[in-house]
Amino acid sequence: MRIGVCPGSFDPVTQGHIDIFERSSKLVDKLIVAVCENPAKHSLFSMETRAELIRRSVTHIPNIEVDFATGLLNDYVKSKNSHIIIRGLRALSDFEYEFQRALFAKYLDDDIETMFIMTNNKYSFVSSTGIRELAKFGGSLDGLVPEEVKLALESKFNGENNRSE
């Protein structure tokens, strides 16, 4: 069985992520979306909330599982009986960063392979950071995130924007 692991912070998951999940799920027997904590970032949503939002957004993909990954990604990938890491790319800057990460993974374990999947061009400008900023200032999220995510972001920021200072 070919098992692919698609790791990320997904804070929040976007339609660009969903597109990568849909397309990569056709290349493996089982796709594990691994929600990771990024120590360099302050997360808007907890890992549990991010995983739940992904689960609600991918019910149409039959061979997908959503899980949490902590620690070294290579160890997580091996624990899932996989040797495939799947990464989505939007731009050249993504490639440079992800290429370096892939080389580290390969250095640590020669059996690990990283597959890069280019985003659909209609999502090439969409990033979780941009989505959080757009949501914070009340911009339209239509078509950029799944409906569940849109509602969660609106709830999060409406509560924040309604507080007295």
Binding positions: 9-10, 17, 41, 73, 87-90, 98, 123-129
- State whether residue 98 is helix, strand or coil: helix
DSSP H/E element including 89: strand 84-89
Q: In this structure, what DSSP letter does residue 78 have?
A: H
Burial of 11 (0-12, 13-18, 19+ CB in 10 A): buried
DSSP H/E element including 132: helix 128-136
Other CB atoms closer than 10 Å to residue 120's CB: what's the count?
16
Show which residues are catalytic. 17, 41, 90, 128
The whole-angstrom separation of Cα 102 and Cα 73 is: 11
